Structure 1
Amino acid sequence: MDDTNQLEYVGFWLRVWASIIDTVLVLAITTPLLLAIYGRERLAAGITFSGFANFLISYVFPAVAVLLFWSFRQATPGKMAISARIVDARTGGPTSVGQNIIRYLGYFPSTFVFCLGLIWVGLDKRKQGWHDKLAGTVVVRPKRGNVEPVRFEA
């Protein structure tokens, strides 16, 4: 990729902001659906945790949506809002479907032990969380300041 010195790694707080945007969007879609199916009282009582519709709406739909956004746009709406995209850490090219699945599943171990795998983004030189390291990805955006540019191996 020839625009590598025009890119920078996206750090912890920008990625938190992108996650908040994505969470609000997912809730804006899933909550009305769950309310329509289960009603306010059952939803508030937590009865839906064992429901099949809840499983589809709360877990399957968001996972499929995220994987589709990553595959076709290299970013979720939250990452798009901050001009970020997910790329292969070695080449800077688009990620594969396999990388996207590993990255998504990598969020689970990243949240174990006080979310250390997510906090790692703020500590790592390339701003990679454990999910990024597992999948071989980095999150980049157009360079905005005097920061070290992104470097890819190939």
Structure 2
Amino acid sequence: MLYAGFWKRVVANFIDGIVVALLTVIVSVLWSFINRMFLTTMLSTDDYTLFPSEDYLFVSNAFIPLLIYLCTMWLYFALMESSSKKATLGKMMLGIIVVDSNNQKLSFWRASGRYFAKNLSGLTMYIGFLMAAFTEKKQTLHDMIARAYVVNKEVVNFTASAYYQQHQSIQPQQPQPIGKGYSVYSGFWKRSLAFLVDSIIIYPVIVIVSLIIQGVKSQLNDNLVDDSVLMLVSFGRSVIIYAMLWLYYGLLESSSWQGTIGKKAMGIIVVDGANSKLTFLRASGRHWAKVLSILTLCIGYIMAGFTAKKQALHDKAAGVYVVNRMSPNQVDPGYYQQQPQQPQQG
């Protein structure tokens, strides 16, 4: 798909929110340090006319920090999206970029206009943001106002290359699919983000279950229950926790989704060598093979960053692949004879 999906954009914005928060904290700390030095100097004098007024205190302690936050947000998005990268850090991590109708980077002022137009998307009870989920070209309200598009970088780069080679009478080089329907192995960072999303989903549930079982264990201990029973409860808690993790990964990766919620959010799936979905047993085998990746001091996980097919140790053990979900026509040989899809003016 050329245009970036809704959930990809949500995760990118989540990452950017963390980045902006950190930048704001850094700039605010610097301002606080400068302001404190100034106030210390003023208060150390005997001239009461130099003492800071209430207006100054309000401006320095409330207005300027707010201004720092707003300016940091604006400059972060506008500068990054008008740079050669065409994307913020969050978008870069997810492989998406912001372009105009000619697939060119936005100017600083156009990127600024797009940023401030987000206020209109917010004023519509956030429906302006949700529009990215159902509009034809996955545009939000502020995208439409700025006449901008958020697209998948890999697809844009490939179609541009295919278009160039086609007009040079050269047969465009085809990607190396592992089977019909998918062409790109998922990168290390995309998988890491998917794992982070899955952790946010599953671990709070595990903590709640653990607390409930711990409460039961404490109640039994107060009633002077035999130690063997307490040990059985502790063992049962471990079994339940491991079973929850196993079923979460095993059932979802062998379902029609072919991936967990985190993988679905990142647009990636788990397939076998024929690009078919895994059976429950094979998905279970892949899950438990993660023990091997852990026992290698997590080098088994890091292998996904440098192996040819982006496989972790447990992927190799199970004979599976983690790939980017793409529409079948993106690896159909006939597709490369067509003019590449470009964002249309509008």
TM-score of the superposed pair, with normalisation by structure 1: 0.78
Equivalent of residue 16 in structure 1, options 10, 17, 35: 10
Q: Distance in 1 between matches of 2:131 and 2:137?
A: 10
- Is the 1:18–1:78 contact (alpha carbons within 8 Å) kept by the matching residues of 2? yes
Q: Which residue of 1 aligns with 2:342?
A: 151
- Cα distance between partner residues in 1 of 2:141 and 2:60: 28
Decide whether aligned partners of structure 1 residues 74 and 112 sit closer, same or farther in structure 2, where only a CA change above 3 A counts: same
Q: Which moved more, 1:52-61 or 1:129-138?
A: 52-61
Percent identity between matched residues is 26
- 1:95 positional shift: 1.5
Q: 1:137 aligns with which of 148, 160, 168?
A: 148
Question: 8 Å contact 2:79–2:108 — kept in the other structure?
Answer: no
Distance 1:113 1:106 in 2: 12
Higher relative contact order (CA 8 A, sep 6+): 1
> What is residue 27 of structure 1 aligned with on the other side?
21
User: C-alpha displacement at 1:152, in angstroms?
Assistant: 3.1
Q: Which runs of 5+ in 1 are unaligned?
A: 1-6, 39-46
Query: Please, which of 126, 135, 151 is the counterpart of residue 124 of structure 1?
Result: 135
Alignment partner of 2:120 out of 100, 109, 112? 109
Which shifted more, 47-56 or 97-106?
A: 47-56
Amino acid at match of 2:10: V
Q: CA deviation at 1:21?
A: 0.2
Alignment RMSD: 2.6
Counterpart secondary structure, 1:75: coil
Counterpart amino acid of 1:146?
S
Asked if 1 retains the 8 angstrom alpha-carbon contact of 2:121 and 2:141, the reply is yes
- The 8 Å contact of residues 9 and 150 in structure 1, kept in 2 or not, is answered as no
C-alpha distance in 2 between matches for 1:147 and 1:110: 33
Instruction: State the Cα distance separating 1:97 from its structure 2 match.
Output: 2.6
Structure 2 counterpart of 1:124, one-letter code: T
Aligned-partner SS, 2:149: strand
Deviation of 1:62 (Å): 2.1
1:51 equivalent in structure 2: 62
Structure 1 outlier segments of 4+, above 4 Å: 47-50, 147-150
Count of aligned pairs between the two proteins: 139
Q: Which structure 2 residues correspond to residues 54-93 of structure 1 after superposition, within 5 A? A: 54-72=65-83, 73-88=85-100, 90-93=101-104
By how many angstroms is 1:20 displaced? 0.4
Q: Deviations over 1:28-72 (max 9, x none)?
A: 22235446729xxxxxxxx88972331332111221122110111
Q: CA deviation at 1:19?
A: 0.3
Q: What is the CA–CA distance in structure 1 between the aligned matches of 2:90 and 2:149, rounded to whole Å?
A: 16
Question: Which protein shows a greater Rg?
Answer: 2
Aligned counterparts of 2:68 and 2:142: Cα–Cα separation in 1: 23
Judged with a 3 Å threshold, the aligned counterparts in structure 2 of structure 1 residues 147 and 74 are, in CA distance, closer, same or farther, namely farther
Q: Is the 8 A contact 2:81 2:105 kept in 1?
A: no
2:5 counterpart letter in structure 1: G
Tell me, in whole angstroms, the C-alpha distance in 2 between the residues paired with 1:65 and 1:27: 11
**Retained in 1: the 8 A contact 2:3–2:138?**
yes
Note closer, same or farther for the CA distance 1:150–1:110 as it changes in structure 2 (3 Å cut).
Answer: farther
- Structure 1 position 98, deviation (Å): 3.0
Structure 2: runs of 5 or more not aligned: 34-57, 156-323, 330-339
